[in-house]
């Protein structure tokens, strides 16, 4: 009884594929021939540990499901990169014009243009240009 059910199952699992598409792919051909040859060994099908009760619609994608697993463990550094990666730079919204030089600067921060000019004046003063 089980052998009759096993011989009818591969015919149900074969999809309706056109002849040119079927002949193009040797891999599909080898997979389905393996499924057709397998029921010729009813002694293996009698063992409950080997017999998988996979529905017919799931049988076609079962091999790709088994291959869709990671092959190696994700490293610690890759996990950290993934966690820390999504933070883009935020726009600075607190901008104003410097009252001294008129350049754009951040609020509550010294103007870099004015600071640079003051530093240059100090260097000139230390060099003795103003004496």
Please state, in angstroms and rounded to a whole number, the distance separating the CA atoms of residues 58 and 80: 36
Q: Tell me what pLDDT residue 69 has.
A: 77
The pTM for the full model equals 0.33
Angstrom distances, CA of residue 100 to CA of 60, 93, 97, 109: 75, 21, 9, 13
Place of tokens 């540990």: 49
- The pLDDT of 105-125, averaged and rounded, is 94
Return the minimum-mean-pLDDT range out of 4-13, 56-65, 68-77, 108-117: 4-13
Spatial neighbors of 33 by CB under 8 A, at least 6 apart, are none
Q: Tell me what pLDDT residue 30 has.
A: 61
Is the separation of the CB atoms in 75 and 46 below 8 Å?
A: no
Read off the pLDDT of residues 74-93 as tens digits, 9 standing for 90 and up.
999 999 888 887 777 889 99
């Amino acid at each position: 009884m089980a052998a009759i059910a096993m011989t009818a199952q591969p015919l149900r699992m074969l999809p309706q594929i056109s002849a040119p598409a079927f002949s193009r792919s040797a891999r599909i051909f080898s997979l389905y021939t393996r499924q057709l040859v397998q029921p010729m060994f009813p002694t293996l099908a009698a063992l409950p540990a080997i017999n998988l009760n996979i529905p017919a619609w799931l049988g076609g994608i079962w091999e790709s499901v088994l291959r869709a697993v990671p092959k190696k463990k994700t490293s610690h550094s890759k996990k950290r990169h993934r966690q820390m990666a999504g933070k883009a730079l935020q726009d600075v919204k607190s901008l104003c014009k410097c009252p001294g030089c008129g350049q754009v600067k951040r609020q509550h921060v010294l103007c870099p243009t004015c600071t640079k000019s003051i530093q240059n004046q100090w260097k000139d003063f230390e060099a003795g240009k103003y004496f």
